[in-house]
Structure 1
């Protein structure tokens, strides 16, 4: 039986990752603390009124240096500490100090890309890549399959999944579409495969592109998908080490 190996959240979309040990999932919501904020660029129409697609935000796909940011969401849920190997740490309340956050991330934006313009937060939901509140579930065996064919070690952080499961056959997750997965006390409905952009090609330690994972997936497996999206349908707590069962 599969087990829950890792849980990750991303308080500011594309601007930092944080590993956590457990989470209380609520039906119809994304992972608590995940993508609370996003940074809209200067040509974007994204605002605080509704969900917007990822193309409206400053993100790793266009600015790989962002991939090296780590984050710690404070207990108040309103303050986050960001760290990057090339910058001093920043502790900021994005809702109250948006300019401070924008000034810190602006030098990490790639040359020629639209500059960070404003901090966006949509009340009641995280700014996940899907139009519906979702979690991304990864299979560590699939990750190891990519490593094996590529002949090198890859950090799982590249894929920016929320939940990593282990003790499964590689690529089994693609057979879960429309099915329900029970993890700890929660249940999630798997909705679709996760199509990929160039973000995973950025090394999460250096913030520099060091591979073409999108092209590699296409060359080796004839698709550009990795991980699956899921919706929480039964509220409950999940924790590292929980069993996971697909029905």
Structure 2
């Protein structure tokens, strides 16, 4: 039976991934503490009062080095610890410590990119890549199949999805649009495919480009899709090892 292989959240959009063992999903909401904060830059037009498009934020698609950041949250303390192979660890309260964060991230930012200027949080709104509060799902069979076409092992972490599922045929998820996934106690409606960007060309351990995933997707499958965006339609606890059903 297909099952959940891994759970991930990204407390600060494009700035660190964090593994989970289980998580409580809520109808109509993104995964808790996923994309809770986003990083503004010199050309940001968002005013911090509502969800805003990706163009307003510092992203790993523009700065591949960001792909190597990992995160560890302390929800009780309201802090996030960030790690990167080229930087010392830093623990911040993103609502209070923007100056310390900007000092920490500056050495990773190319001079020819808009520089980061602050940390933004919109209460009760995750800064997902979609204009609805989404939970992203990766079929590990698809990732492995693409890696086979590329002649390399692709780390699933490069796709930055919330839920990794194992046991489905490669690319099967492309037929799930409009259907529902039952995972543990929760249900999620599959809304749309995830169109991939340049961030996925980087090794998530180093932040260095190591494989042209976009070229491989287009050449072999005539699209840039990998994974699907879902919306939670029934609240409930999900955990690694939970069975996954397609309704």
Do the structures match in fold with TM over 0.5?
yes
The within-5 A match list for 1:168-183 is 168-183=168-183
CA contact (8 A) 1:64 1:110 kept: no
Aligned partners of 1:33 and 1:77 also within 8 Å: no
What is the CA deviation profile of residues 100-137 of structure 1, one whole-angstrom value per residue up to 9, with x for unaligned ones?
Answer: 11111122112300000111111102110001100110
- Aligned-pair Cα RMSD in Å: 0.9
Partner of 1:104: 104
**Quick check: 1:86 aligned with 2:111?**
no
1:66 corresponds to:
66
> Structure 2 regions of 5+ residues with no counterpart?
none
Q: Once the 2 structures are TM-superposed, how far is the Cα of residue 211 of structure 1 from its aligned partner?
A: 1.7
**Offset of 1:202 from its aligned partner?**
1.1
Please list the CA deviations of residues 62-95 of structure 1 after superposition, one character each: whole Å capped at 9, or x if unmatched.
Answer: 1001000000011326200000000100000010
Higher alpha-carbon deviation: 64-73 or 202-211: 202-211
Which residue of the partner structure matches residue 9 of structure 2? 9
Distance 1:133 1:77, change over 3 A: farther
Q: Distance in 1 between matches of 2:121 and 2:77?
A: 13
Please give the alpha-carbon distance, in whole angstroms, between the structure 2 residues aligned to 1:112 and 1:75.
35
* Equivalent-residue separation in structure 2 for 1:236 and 1:203 (angstroms): 33
State the partner residue of 1:219. 219
- Mark the runs of 5 or more structure 1 residues left unpaired by the alignment: none
Q: TM-score, normalized by length of structure 2?
A: 0.98
Q: Name 1:198's counterpart in structure 2.
A: 198
Q: Is the 8 A contact 1:26 1:232 kept in 2?
A: yes
The answer to whether structure 1 residue 30 and structure 2 residue 3 are counterparts is no
Task: Report the count of equivalent residues.
Answer: 247
TM-score by length of 1: 0.98
Match of 1:219, SS state, is helix
Q: Offset of 1:47 from its aligned partner?
A: 2.9
Cα distance in 1 for residues equivalent to 2:172 and 2:148: 17
Tell me the residue number matched to 2:229.
Answer: 229
Assess, with a 3 A threshold, how the Cα gap between structure 1 residues 77 and 56 changes in structure 2: closer, same or farther.
farther
CA distance in 1, matches of 2:168, 2:208: 31
Residues 138-165 of structure 1: per-residue CA shift (max 9 Å, x gap): 0000011011111111111100000011
Which structure 2 residues correspond to residues 138-157 of structure 1 after superposition, within 5 A? 138-157=138-157
| CA contact 1:47–1:121 (8 Å) conserved in 2 | no
Q: Runs of 4 or more off by more than 2 Å in structure 1? A: none
1:135 aligns with 2:135: yes
Residues 98 and 118, structure 2, Cα contact 8 Å, conserved in 1: yes
